């Protein structure tokens, strides 16, 4: 039980840091701030996101949950992939400010969905 709690709280803490860093990086990008090019803001989020993914896998293994038999977890994974794609467009690949802004808002909405699914354990938490 203690391992589960450590993994759960680590995952939640890493998720909070990851979301905070994404909002910061997205805000700096939308403002066209030169701070967005800081080396630490390009490296640290990848480290945090890697740890977040590792904690998610460890948590799933710890509680013996299979995404194929837990629709809410599969929904989180699918939403995560869509969030990564939109985040990539928002922070790097969007050719215009409008495209970057739209992708950023879409990524934030997906983050909200992922958090709601995580807490409710249902595919349609609203």
Per-residue pLDDT 10s for the chain (126 aa) are 799 999 999 999 999 999 999 999 999 999 999 999 999 999 999 999 999 999 999 999 999 999 999 999 999 999 999 999 999 999 999 999 999 999 999 999 999 999 999 999 999 988
**Per-residue model confidence (pLDDT) at position 108:** 98
- Cα(30)–Cα(90) distance, integer angstroms: 9
Longest C-alpha distance within the chain, in Å? 49
**Per-residue model confidence (pLDDT) at position 1:** 78
Does one domain contain both 57 and 71?
no
**Per-residue model confidence (pLDDT) at position 126:** 83
**Per-residue model confidence (pLDDT) at position 89:** 97
- Cα(88)–Cα(39) distance, integer angstroms: 17
Does one domain contain both 28 and 49?
yes
Does one domain contain both 32 and 74?
no
Does one domain contain both 104 and 82?
yes
Does one domain contain both 104 and 75?
yes
Does one domain contain both 8 and 34?
yes
Residue 58 contacts residue 7 (beta carbons within 8 Å):
yes
Does one domain contain both 16 and 58?
yes
Does one domain contain both 15 and 72?
no
Does one domain contain both 80 and 44?
no
**Per-residue model confidence (pLDDT) at position 44:** 97
Does one domain contain both 90 and 51?
no
Does one domain contain both 92 and 74?
yes
Domain carrying residue 80 = 67-126
Does one domain contain both 46 and 58?
yes
Token match 């807490």: residue? 119
Instruction: Using the 3D structure, point to which of 48, 64, 80 is the last residue of a domain.
Output: 64
- Cα(47)–Cα(62) distance, integer angstroms: 22
Domain count within the chain: 2
């Amino acid at each position: 039980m203690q391992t589960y709690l450590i993994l759960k709280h680590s995952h939640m803490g890493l998720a909070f840091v990851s979301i905070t860093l994404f909002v910061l990086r997205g805000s700096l990008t939308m403002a066209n701030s030169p701070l967005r090019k800081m080396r630490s803001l390009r490296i640290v989020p990848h480290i945090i996101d890697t740890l977040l993914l590792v904690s998610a896998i460890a948590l799933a293994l710890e509680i013996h949950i299979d995404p194929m038999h837990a629709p809410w977890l599969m929904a989180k994974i699918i939403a995560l992939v869509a969030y990564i794609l939109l985040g990539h467009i928002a922070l790097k690949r969007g050719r215009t400010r409008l495209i970057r802004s739209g992708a950023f808002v879409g990524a934030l909405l997906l983050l909200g969905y992922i958090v709601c699914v995580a807490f409710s354990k249902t595919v349609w938490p609203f």
